[in-house]
Amino acid sequence: MRDRIIRFMYGRYGMDVFSRFLIFFGLGMMLITSFFLGGVIGQTLYFLSVAITAYGYSRVFSRKLQKRYKENQVFLDKTGKIRGFIRKCKARIKQMKTHHIYSCPSCKQKIRIPKGKGKIEVRCPKCSTSFVKKS
C-alpha cells in the first residue's frame, strides 16, 4: 500500500507550508461555520471553506511544481514576520522555565539570568553597567 502511495505521489508537488495553511484554515473555518453560524451567511462561508480546503488539496496533488513553488515562496515572504514573532515567543516561553530575562537599565539590552541563584550582580555585556537582580 505504501509503495502505491509513493508511486502515485511521484512527480507531484506534495505538502508545503502554504498547502498546510490552506487545509487547516479551511477545516477550522468549516467547523466554526457549522457550529456557530447559520442562515445564508453561514452557508456561504461554509462553501467558501470547502473551496479553500479543496484548493489546498489540489496544490498537494498538482504536477505544476514551479508554479506551486513560487506560490509557496510568496506566502513565506508575506508571513515571514508573523512566523518569526511566533517563533521568538515560543523560545521565550520555553526559556522562562529555567531563566529570567532582564533589561539593562541604561541601554535596554536583554540579559538572560539562570533561575535559583539568589541575588546576583549582573553586568551588561553591551554597556558594562552593573545592577543587582534576584534570579
- In tens, the pLDDT along 1-17 reads 888 887 877 878 888 99
Q: Provide the pLDDT for residue 123.
A: 87
* Average pLDDT across the chain, whole number: 88
Q: Provide the pLDDT for residue 36.
A: 79
Task: Give the pLDDT mean for 26-33.
Answer: 92
Can you say whether residue 48 is alpha, beta or left, with left for phi > 0 and alpha for psi between -120 and 50 degrees? alpha
Q: Where are the alpha helices (DSSP H) in the chain?
A: 2-9, 17-36, 39-60, 65-78, 80-95
94: CB partners within 8 A, 6+ apart: none
86 vs 110: CA distance, rounded Å? 18
Comparing CA positions, the residue from 126, 93, 90, 89 lying closest to residue 111 is 126
- Looking at residue 78, its amino acid is K
pTM of the model: 0.66
